[in-house]
């Protein structure tokens, strides 16, 4: 099984798009939409913009999330599953800005 990894923060999600191909690197159909499920961790899966896409979402904490992304590649009545494992190494999001503001005031009179 192929394992793919990404380093993300707990603010991110990963959009996975499938372009199925034969071992000879020619385009190939799959039977039905791309599938995905959480193997471990606090992640979740959402549908993408089309049947060959899934969105892998991190949890709210800095915990590794593992997903199984798979499809039935036998377009006849049989079932042949091809799958990949996705590992999201999750860190906590940090401040990227201090968000400071200013206010112009008169200074007190000199003593």
Residue 75 has pLDDT above 90, yes or no: no
More confident residue, 75 or 37: 37
80 located within any domain: yes
- What are the angstrom distances between the C-alpha of 72 and each of 18, 35, 37, 48, 69? 12, 9, 14, 18, 11
Section 72-89 average pLDDT: 93
Residue 104 lies in a domain: no
- Here the tokens at position 44 are 């979740």
**Domain region containing 73:** 2-91
pLDDT at 76: 86
pLDDT of residue 66: 98
HEC readout, 8-53 = EECCCEEEEECCCECCCCCECCCEEEEEEEEEECCCEEEECCCCCE
Alpha-carbon distance of 58 to 52, in angstroms, equals 20
Average pLDDT over residues 51-80: 95
Residue 105 lies in a domain: no
- CATH number of 68's domain: 2.60.40.10
Q: How many structural domains comprise the chain? A: 1
Give 73's Cβ-side CA count (13 Å radius): 14
Res. 1: pLDDT tops 90: no
User: What is the pTM assigned to this prediction?
Assistant: 0.86
**Assigned domain for 74 exists:** yes
Confidence at residue 101, expressed as pLDDT on a 0 to 100 scale: 93
Residue 111 has pLDDT above 90, yes or no: no
Rounded Cα distance, 101 and 58, in Å: 32
Residue 84 in domain: yes
């Amino acid at each position: 099984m192929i394992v793919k990894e990404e380093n993300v923060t707990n603010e991110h999600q990963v959009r996975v798009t499938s372009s199925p191909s034969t071992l000879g690197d020619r385009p190939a159909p799959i039977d039905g939409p791309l599938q995905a499920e959480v193997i471990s961790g606090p992640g979740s899966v959402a549908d993408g913009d089309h049947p060959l896409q899934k969105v892998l979402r991190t949890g709210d904490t800095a915990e590794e999330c593992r997903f199984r992304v798979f499809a039935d590649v036998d377009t006849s009545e049989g079932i042949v599953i091809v799958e990949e494992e996705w590992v999201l190494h999750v860190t906590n999001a940090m401040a990227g800005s201090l968000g400071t503001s200013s206010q112009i005031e008169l200074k007190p009179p000199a003593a």
